[in-house]
Each structure stands twice: as C-alpha cells, then as structure tokens.
Structure 1
C-alpha cells in the first residue's frame, strides 16, 4: 500500500480523522498528506525533538508550557509519552505517533471522540512498526 493510501484509507477513511500526514522520522520530508495539511520545517523539527525525549526533557517541558504549532496553529499539549503526542485546540485535536521510520500526524474534528482518533492513529503506528517501518 502506498503512503497516501494509509492517509486516505486507514486514517481519514476511518471517519475519526479529519486530516493526516505521514512524515519521515527525521522530520525532513512529507511522504503523504491530506491536501492542505502542511507543516513548516521548524514545526516538524519541534515534533522530532519532543519525540526524542521519550516523554521527558526540555522540548517536552517547552511543549507543555508554550504549546505546539502545527500548520501555523497553536495546540495545547495534553499528553506526551515515549512515542506519542496528544494536543487540543478547542474541540479539535492532534494525535502524533512515531514508528521506526515515520511520524503519523492526524487532526480530528470537534465531533469525534479524542479516544477514537487516538486509537486509529496508534493502531496504524503499531501495524507499521510490526511491518518494519
């Protein structure tokens, strides 16, 4: 399956995700994305730094204090774990999950339970990890 198919079918196609992207684990390239769901290099660098800390460290502290910017929008960090980041902006939210080679970034709309969006993103991350990605 192509990376775009994972975005379109597994994430957005689930009905729990509004927009999604898959980027390299280094944050230096976007492999697939929903049209218009783009990030600047500094935003991706921040995500990579947060995920390097395994839920700890200065990048994580800064994310909790200042929020996380994605697509030019500020999100409040609600939970950061070893491979995952969860953020809110009003009634919408962002789920981020890292695999060996990729970072999944997904936005859910206001009418979606955050737990359903999280489960969708984490399930795809688990599948990719088991597949060697």
Structure 2
C-alpha cells in the first residue's frame, strides 16, 4: 500500500480523522498528506523532537503548545511514542513508528477516542511490518 493510501483510506477513510500527514521520523520529508494539510518544515522538526524526547522539546511543548499546519494546539498528553493536543473541540493525534510519524487531525464532530484508536492502530501495524 502506498503512503498516500494510508492517509486516504486508513486515516481519513475511517471517518475518525478529517486530514492527516505521514512524515519521516527524521522530520525532513513528507511522505503523504491530505489536500490542504501542509505541515511546515519547522513544525515537522518540532513534532519529531517532541515524540523522540529530544532536548527540552517535551517541556517546551507543555508550556507553549505545538504548531501543526499553521495552527497552535494545547498539549494534553505526551506518552512514549504519542502526542495528543487540542484546540477547542478539534485536535491532533501524533504517533511515531520506527521510520515515520503520523500526524492526524480530528474535527469538532469526531470522537477523540475513536481518532486516537485509529491512529494508534495504524502505527501498531506500521511497526509490525517494519516501518
């Protein structure tokens, strides 16, 4: 399956995510993205620093939030490989695999738990197949 198919079918196609991107774990390239969901290079580097625990990125994220596609989100939780942040009734679920970082956005009418489960399940699958 292509990276774009993971974004279109597994994430957006689930109905639990309205836009998404998959980037390299190095934070230097976008592998696939939804139309109009542009994660800027500086945002990618910052997201990767947070999910890999680089430097003071986690403390900074808790203090300043995280920016994705030009929007600022308040960090609600950071775990081993995952970052959860919200902006009002919308938010992002970001999960790191061995080689990729999945960035998924959920809309106002979507259930956060379903969005989280969808993204985490794709991450588990990608890890299982070596990504």
What TM bracket, shorter-length normalisation? Answer: over 0.9
Deviation at 1:106, TM superposition (A): 0.2
Deviation at 1:52, TM superposition (A): 1.5
Q: CA RMSD in A?
A: 1.0
Structure 1's unaligned 5+ residue stretches are none
1:11-56 CA-to-partner distances (Å, cap 9, x unmatched) read 00000000000000101000000011111111111111111218xx
Give 4+ residue runs of structure 1 displaced > 2 Å after superposition.
none
Question: What is the TM-score of this pair, normalised by structure 1?
Answer: 0.96
Q: How many residue pairs are counted as aligned between the two chains?
A: 131
Spell out the pairing of 1:44-63 with structure 2 (5 A cutoff).
Answer: 44-53=44-53, 58-63=56-61
- Which residue in 2 is equivalent to 1:101? 99
- Which residue in 1 is equivalent to 2:18? 18
Spell out the pairing of 1:120-131 with structure 2 (5 A cutoff).
Answer: 120-131=118-129
Question: What is the TM-score of this pair, normalised by structure 2?
Answer: 0.97
Tell me, what secondary structure is at the counterpart of 1:132? coil
